[in-house]
Amino acid sequence: MNLPTNHPKAASSSLHHAQNQSDLFQALYDKKARIAVVGLGYVGLPVALEFAAHFTVVGFDIDEERVELMCQG
């Protein structure tokens, strides 16, 4: 949460955050964003597949067998 402050560094941080947010929105609009999905189970896998229709997606999971199956197609 960003609380109002008169500290000069905080103002600079807010401007930097706004630029990052603007860059993110532009990357999403241009379909150039890269999406990471953590957990490829019942929720993560369908989410990753849906995002993959329009974006580059990287999935992460701690289940080595699941990851191996995904790599095989």
Encoding tokens for residue 19? 């630029």
| pTM exceeding 0.75 | no
Is 2 inside a domain boundary?
no
In contact, 32 and 10? CB cutoff 8 Å: no
pLDDT in tens, 17-73: 678 888 889 999 999 999 999 999 999 999 999 999 999 999 999 999 999 998 898
When pLDDT is cut at 50, 70 and 90, the band that residue 1 belongs to is: very low
| Tally of domains within the chain | 1
| pLDDT of res. 70 | 86
| Domain region containing 22 | 8-72
Strands 56-60 and 34-38: parallel
| pLDDT of res. 17 | 67
Q: What is the DSSP letter of 4?
A: P
Is 17 inside a domain boundary?
yes
Is 1 inside a domain boundary?
no
In contact, 58 and 35? CB cutoff 8 Å: yes
Q: Residue 68 and residue 42: Cα distance in Å, rounded?
A: 17
Q: Residue 11 and residue 14: Cα distance in Å, rounded?
A: 5
